[in-house]
Amino acid sequence: MDANGIIKSIVFPGLWLSMADLLAGNMQQVLAVLQLGLNSPEHQLFVQQNSEFRNQNS
């Protein structure tokens, strides 16, 4: 968990969850934070690497 209370997955880069908002049931903010993660450079690299892996193994 980072200093802002955001859980950032190591296994799935871009999977970001706001712990406080999740526990409070504030799903709008949970989804907003998740969208930030999905727009992150780390997630874009993850998607690109997975795409390349699939293309090599198909």
Residue 31 inside a domain? The answer is yes
Residue 48 inside a domain? The answer is yes
Residue 1 inside a domain? The answer is no
Domain count, the chain: 1
Does the structure show a pLDDT above 90 at 58?
no
Residue 50 inside a domain? The answer is yes
Residue 17 inside a domain? The answer is yes
Cβ neighbors of 13 (< 8 A, separation 6 or more) are 40, 42, 43, 45, 46
Residue 15 inside a domain? The answer is yes
Please name the helix (run of DSSP H) or strand (run of DSSP E) that holds residue 17, with its range, or none: strand 16-18
Give the torsion sign (CA, 51, 55, 56, 58): positive
Question: pLDDT, tens digit, for every residue of 8-41?
Answer: 999 999 999 999 999 999 999 999 999 999 999 9
Question: What range does the domain containing 11 cover?
Answer: 6-56
Rg (CA), the chain: 14
Residue 24 inside a domain? The answer is yes
Structure tokens at 48: 């690109």
Q: Indicate the pTM of the whole model.
A: 0.88
Residue 20 inside a domain? The answer is yes
